[in-house]
Amino acid sequence: GGAGSIGSFVVKDLFKFKVKKIIIVDNNEYNLFKLKLSLTKKNIDKIELNLANIENNFQIKKIFKKYFPDIVFHVAALKHVEYLENNTNQGILTNILGTDNILKYSVKNKVKYFINVSTDKAADPENILGITKLIGEYLCNNYSLKNNIKIGIVRFGNVFNSNGSVSEVFK
């Protein structure tokens, strides 16, 4: 989800630090295109864009083996309640199995820090979004307890002006 609204914000913030390279993974080629257009020439030289789906074990394994990241910001998710209620299987694939893939290869490739972006809906889940993201948090806790990786979880509420937020409805 590195080129989505939250992911691209994280990417742009990372340039404030002395990063050698930022590996961006997203399954949306248009978002990758928009992110690249929004960066300065200096910053473009520090990024690698990867079109991949976190549910695809082969793609994720290949990316981790190619880059060996030190830190992973996991922001990829399906996060719209209405669509997840009607597409439960896809919510499970992306928010649970995709998260497990990212965690598995983070551990195998000795990632030092893993930051999982979750949702406030995981606090007291009443829908598929909350349930799948809470299970993703449980996976993070389980990997943290059983492996040598530091994992942080942050829960976001509705992020105004993010892709699909109510601000788009108002516009």
Task: Find the helix or strand (DSSP H, E) in which 127 lies.
Answer: none
- Cα angle 6, 25, 71 (rounded to 5 degrees) comes to 80
Catalytic residue chosen out of the listed positions 42, 108, 110, 121: 121
121 is catalytic: yes
Rg of the Cα atoms in the chain: 16
86 Cβ partners below 8 Å, 6+ apart?
none
- Measure the CA–CA gap between 125 and 19, rounded to whole angstroms: 36
CA distance 16 to 20: 12
Residues recognised as catalytic: 121
